[in-house]
Amino acid sequence: MGYPVTIDETDRRILALLQVDASLPLDEIGTRVALSRNAVWRRIRLMEEAGLIRARVALLDADRLGLGLMVFMMVRTNDHRPDWLDRFARATRDIPEILGAYRMTGDLDYLVRARVADVRDYDRLYQQLTRRVDLADVSASFVMEELKETTALPL
């Protein structure tokens, strides 16, 4: 984890605009935050160098791409050795359907978020993961409705 970086209100406004549409032209951002094109470019470059802006990406429509089922996998393990964690982390990074994997507190060891076509496709993903890593228990919950899905951080 990195340390927080100090930014001013103008930086926050630039980041808020980029979170909504990273393809905005520098001139448009400058107009909205009352800065010149070059000043906006310098600020964005500095925020990239500081690691505040990790990447600029396109958000795709999962349903239109045939990945209409979001699944949360609740994973428990009896093995907490570093080599097991390395294998699990590698497996979750290598399987493209897995969008996120998180080590948790409480009763649950890991939470995995994935996108698949349907339940049959989930079963294929489940089998692929369990072939690569020994798991004590895996249960899954399928998303019925997305009430909120955003990549925008609160600024």
**How much is the pTM?**
0.87
Instruction: List per-residue pLDDT tens for the chain, 155 residues long.
Output: 567 888 999 999 999 999 999 999 999 999 999 999 999 999 999 999 999 999 999 999 999 999 999 999 999 999 999 999 999 999 999 999 999 999 999 999 999 999 999 999 999 999 999 999 999 999 999 999 999 999 999 99
Domains and CATH numbers, the chain: 9-49 (1.10.10.10), 69-142 (3.30.70.920)
13 three-state secondary structure: helix
Q: Which of 37, 33, 38 is nearest to 8 (CA)?
A: 33
